[in-house]
Structure 1
Amino acid sequence: MLSKFQNHIVNRFPFLGDKKLFLAVSGGLDSMVLLHLLQQLPYEIAVLHCNFQLRGLESFGDQDFIQNYCQNNNIEIFTTQFDTEAFAKDYKLSTQVAARELRYSWFYELLETENFDYILTAHHADDNLETFIINLSRGTGLEGLTGIPEQNDKIIRPLLPFSREEILQYAQDNAIEWREDSSNASNKYLRNKIRHDLVPILKEINPNFLSAFQKTQSYLQESQEMVEDASIMVYQQVAKEVGDDIHFDLNQLKKLPNYHSYLYQWLNEFGFLAWNDIYDLVDGQSGKQVLSEEFRLLKNRETLILSPISVVDESEEYTIEENESEVNFPLKLKLCQVDDITVDSNKAIFVDAEKIRFPLVLRRWKEGDFFHPFGMGGKSKKISKLFKDEKLSLIEKENVWLLCSEGQILWVVGLRQDERFKVEKASNTILKIQLQ
């Protein structure tokens, strides 16, 4: 196995040769074999061990075992202890998810502070099979069937081609000691039920099942790569990135024979779960939206707009003093006196400086706000009606700022100036306010 492992790691991960590597070691069979294998090869390694304090004295026994092994073999080790159950309770997570969150957060922190390059974990072929079955049982897209990735950012899993049987045989041949996790014997967890009850039946039906499964998964991975390539090509025809937002042209989208699949491929990484609601948006009413924890998908006429969710505080206000010529937050504005009006653009306004009173105030719009649009002879108009006339999306409305003088709206910034502050023939001083 050592020779096979060495060839695999050299062929698949040749860039590891001069890197500093952390090994995540629990003390169990798989991670102890990975540690032993890496000790035989010329890599610079150190061990990471998390004590999740979930099995009482057994957890501390694991920690002592790893620390003693590393001390006896002159291997640098980093350990930490987590109150996993308290963390899971505080953040309303399952124990397994909480442990994963804590573990990988600590891993990445150490990569940064200790200047290491990668973290190696001991996931193997049987883990991959179990993950496949779990995803299959819960319902998943193609990416859920492609299994555990060999590399995910800084996490590398060099044992994925090896079965649990191969790993056990190597441990026995090399008299490797390890710790048994008592929780692995319980069928309390779904993964253990699959491991103890289902996988043995599959291997009984076909003794070469694991090998056949690995071939099938290789084909699935190739198919996923083809899907991703096609998705990128179609994305360039349908989507347009506008600042932090992505606009999907529904007229182009509907021409696709299976646009549901493309939407899933594009939006899956943004945390959406209500896929039927998303598909219904395509033909839904303008203004409807679907939310994930951090993103929003909005139907705006013939466009779907994906944007980060931002919390709008209607009480948010910023003042501009008379001596300020530039403002950099929350908008970039430039204020200066000019001799005449030279530009007619929504990005700049010209006002009679004697009609305004400082400090000016930049604030969010509120329901019920009204102003007197320039060019309408002094008639008032609700800001909400202006938005409707301008056909602004919900997201665009949320990003509108009002520039006010003594409570009166001077400018719906970037859209329309107020009539009451316009420059007239009798005006002595002209102030230009420009949105940068």
Structure 2
Amino acid sequence: MEDVALAVRVKPLRKGEIKHSAKGAFSDYGDSMEDLESLVERYAKKWKLWEKNAQILVACSGGPDSIALLSILDAVSRKGESCIKVAAAHFNHEIRGRESDADEEYVMTFCREHDIPCYTGRGNVPAYAKEHRISIETAAREMRYAFLYATAGNIGASCIAVAHQADDQAETVLMRVLRGTGIDGLAAIRPKNGRLIRPILFASRRAIEDYCEQKGIVPCQDLTNNEETATRNRLRLSLIPQLKKEYNPSLGEALCRLASIAAEQTDYIAEQARAAWNRVVCGSGDDKIVISREEFLALHNTMQMAVLREAVDRLGGQMNFSYVQYEAIQELFLPEHKGKALHLPGGLFASSSYEKITLSKGEEQPTLWIERPLEPSGITRIDELGLSIVCEPAKPNEEVKGRMEILVDAGGFLNPRVRPRKNGDRFAVGSGSQTVKKLLIDRKIPKEKRTEIPIIESEGTILWIAGIRQADTARPINGKAALRLKLIYDKLPEWLMD
């Protein structure tokens, strides 16, 4: 299939003249107003942006990009072979007062004149931003996309078309380079992402402005786009023009080409990672993925990172992750990090045991170790915690020294076991009982550390929340034999340092 130029300048060409695209393909141009429309059709086929008979909801602010997109898709829908239906959606952010209302009226009028179904919504973005303590830009995006997805669901639209174009792509790539990114970040904006499609991502801003002019469309203008307060505006208005003038006049095309190459390589790496997935993953579910240490370490570093990104993505945490977090998870696979864990963004946890690493999500950190018998006369070792529990007969009238040891009734020390905390655990306090959870909250033990605390029990009854509190019924009886239990850590854990 013939490639579409990454950045197109729409203008009449003399008969027989051809234009060279940014990727090396050639495109013939006929009538200038129809060029962008036919290129969008070809671009949509190349990237499979929509299926036959698709209902497409076009996000339209009234600005040049979105009104051109709406006009183009409306024109495409009126061609007999296209078999698509188009509707428009406009969200009033209530940021610019009368100007915002004027934009809404403009879109509604355009749709009436072109017989396009139009759906509108509005929301107080400044109030939402203040309530959720986020920026105006983030609040506007969240509210707008919530409206778009809800509207698409209500009308049965399979696609939501948004008007990102080639200059947006170039700005995004440059911004990510400046902030720091990997190859997947360089891929930047994709033509299709789930239900979101970007039919004019290949076209330059100038091409779109020319299209509007030749069609007689006078778009709305958001004057805030000319203010150099936002980072993207400063890039567009100052940095990119300077780089074009002093270093590369074709900077936009070069950045778009970089994004295209990065996207192809990222897709290939992801494909290879999916092939490796079945070898390295030894268990998975909605809230947990278990990865074999041996199989993972046999992968190339690039594949390791790709597998981790796939795992985090499946658990719903990728939006909050940086390369630093992926590196931290990767280090857990090294032998010297057995028994360690990470509390990660988005409510995710990573924990390392002897043969595997577990990634999970939930309110509390996953258990790093499993229940085991407690040696009633000797030493029980828990390597995952770097802990030895010594159990030995106590001398008559012996007293404990600090919270790292207790005395228990030897006669009642039957079938002793040591285990992590369980939901609903209770221990004896006076004539009643208390939940272990409340005790840990009262002692201000961090949530992510609570599964590290050993629970010692006898015949299913909790004797000691080790290092924190002994059950009242577990104390030795005067004149009867007692046992001394003592904790010996390789390195004292943080929760025991207070």
TM-score (norm 2): 0.62
In structure 2, do the counterparts of structure 1 residues 172 and 298 end up closer, same or farther at CA, with 3 Å as the change threshold? same
8 Å Cα contact 1:120-1:155 kept in structure 2: yes
8 Å Cα contact 1:285-1:299 kept in structure 2: yes
In structure 2, do the counterparts of structure 1 residues 217 and 70 end up closer, same or farther at CA, with 3 Å as the change threshold? same
In 1, the alpha carbon distance for the partners of 2:306 and 2:261 equals 20
In 2, the alpha carbon distance for the partners of 1:262 and 1:14 equals 25
In structure 2, do the counterparts of structure 1 residues 147 and 287 end up closer, same or farther at CA, with 3 Å as the change threshold? closer
In 1, the alpha carbon distance for the partners of 2:105 and 2:175 equals 33
**Corresponding residue number in structure 1 for 2:332:** 281
In 1, the alpha carbon distance for the partners of 2:177 and 2:101 equals 35
**Corresponding residue number in structure 2 for 1:157:** 198
Match for 1:255 among 298, 310, 313? 298
**Residue 217 of structure 1, CA deviation:** 2.3
8 Å Cα contact 1:278-1:290 kept in structure 2: no
1:125 equivalenced with 2:166 (yes/no): yes
Match for 1:31 among 66, 69, 72? 66
**Residue 20 of structure 1, CA deviation:** 1.2
**Residue 223 of structure 1, CA deviation:** 1.0
8 Å Cα contact 2:49-2:197 kept in structure 1: no
**Residue 109 of structure 1, CA deviation:** 1.2
8 Å Cα contact 2:305-2:330 kept in structure 1: no
Q: Percent identity?
A: 25
**Corresponding residue number in structure 2 for 1:324:** none
In structure 2, do the counterparts of structure 1 residues 236 and 284 end up closer, same or farther at CA, with 3 Å as the change threshold? same
| Structure 2 counterparts to residues 28-427 of structure 1, below 5 A | 28-42=63-77, 43-204=84-245, 205-243=247-285, 244-258=287-301, 261-262=305-306, 264-269=308-313, 270=317, 271-273=320-322, 274-275=324-325, 276-282=327-333, 283-284=336-337, 286-310=339-363, 379-380=413-414, 386-387=418-419, 397=420, 418=459
In 2, the alpha carbon distance for the partners of 1:17 and 1:267 equals 33
**Residue 418 of structure 1, CA deviation:** 4.3
In 1, the alpha carbon distance for the partners of 2:102 and 2:460 equals 78
In structure 2, do the counterparts of structure 1 residues 17 and 177 end up closer, same or farther at CA, with 3 Å as the change threshold? farther
In 2, the alpha carbon distance for the partners of 1:185 and 1:149 equals 26
**Corresponding residue number in structure 2 for 1:9:** 44
Runs of 5+ unmatched residues, structure 2: 1-35, 78-83, 366-407, 434-456, 462-498
**Residue 44 of structure 1, CA deviation:** 1.4
**Corresponding residue number in structure 1 for 2:391:** none
In 2, the alpha carbon distance for the partners of 1:81 and 1:45 equals 21
In structure 2, do the counterparts of structure 1 residues 279 and 3 end up closer, same or farther at CA, with 3 Å as the change threshold? closer
Task: Name the count of aligned residue pairs.
Answer: 347
In 1, the alpha carbon distance for the partners of 2:93 and 2:55 equals 25
What letter is aligned with 1:140?
T
Runs of 5+ unmatched residues, structure 1: 313-370, 388-396, 408-415, 421-436
What letter is aligned with 1:246?
I
In 2, the alpha carbon distance for the partners of 1:126 and 1:77 equals 27
**Residue 188 of structure 1, CA deviation:** 0.3
What letter is aligned with 1:136?
V
**Residue 241 of structure 1, CA deviation:** 1.9
Task: Identify the range of structure 1 (112-121 vs 185-194) with the bigger mean alpha-carbon deviation.
Answer: 112-121
**Residue 228 of structure 1, CA deviation:** 0.9
Task: Identify the range of structure 1 (155-164 vs 242-251) with the bigger mean alpha-carbon deviation.
Answer: 242-251
**Corresponding residue number in structure 2 for 1:19:** 54
Q: 3-state DSSP class of the match of 1:80?
A: strand
**Residue 268 of structure 1, CA deviation:** 4.8
TM-score (norm 1): 0.70
**Residue 211 of structure 1, CA deviation:** 2.9
In structure 2, do the counterparts of structure 1 residues 308 and 198 end up closer, same or farther at CA, with 3 Å as the change threshold? same
**Residue 208 of structure 1, CA deviation:** 3.2
Q: 3-state DSSP class of the match of 2:337?
A: coil
8 Å Cα contact 2:281-2:291 kept in structure 1: yes
In structure 2, do the counterparts of structure 1 residues 268 and 202 end up closer, same or farther at CA, with 3 Å as the change threshold? farther
In 2, the alpha carbon distance for the partners of 1:251 and 1:287 equals 17
8 Å Cα contact 2:186-2:258 kept in structure 1: no
**Residue 56 of structure 1, CA deviation:** 1.9
8 Å Cα contact 1:378-1:419 kept in structure 2: no
Q: 3-state DSSP class of the match of 2:76?
A: coil
In 2, the alpha carbon distance for the partners of 1:398 and 1:263 equals 31
